[in-house]
Amino acid sequence: MGREHMPKIEFFYFADCPSHEQALALLREVMEEEKIAASLEIIEVKTEDEAQQYSFYGSPTICVDGIDIAPLSEYLSRPGLTCRVYRRSDGRISPLPPRELIVAAFHRNSHV
């Protein structure tokens, strides 16, 4: 019955962020691999007010059912128009969310 749940997937980005297109392609690839048929809402965050409204802590940000796929770091204290970085499993920093983080978000929410 939990498999019937169709997650709400949102991709937030800031146009000046150079990695958002690659991140969106990665998200679509993972959705296809994981057979996630949910619709994907792509939202461009254009102003500081919108950043506040969406709790946007940088580009790219992916939310599944309203929950950010990555725990926010302590240095991300305020929403804003900026590029975001992610910590990979090996400790390196990347402008793209790790594939396993996206997959985990889908599986975490598939039992709702």
pLDDT digits (tens, 9 = 90+) for 36-45: 988 999 999 9
Q: What is the pTM of this model?
A: 0.88
Tell me the sheet residues that pair with 62.
Answer: 11
**Domains of the chain, start order:** 2-109 (3.40.30.10)
Alpha-helical runs (H) found in 18-79: 20-33, 48-54
Residue 73's pLDDT is: 62
CA 18 to chain centre: 15
Residue 21 reports pLDDT greater than 90: yes
Composition of the chain by helix, strand, coil, percent to 5 = 30, 20, 50
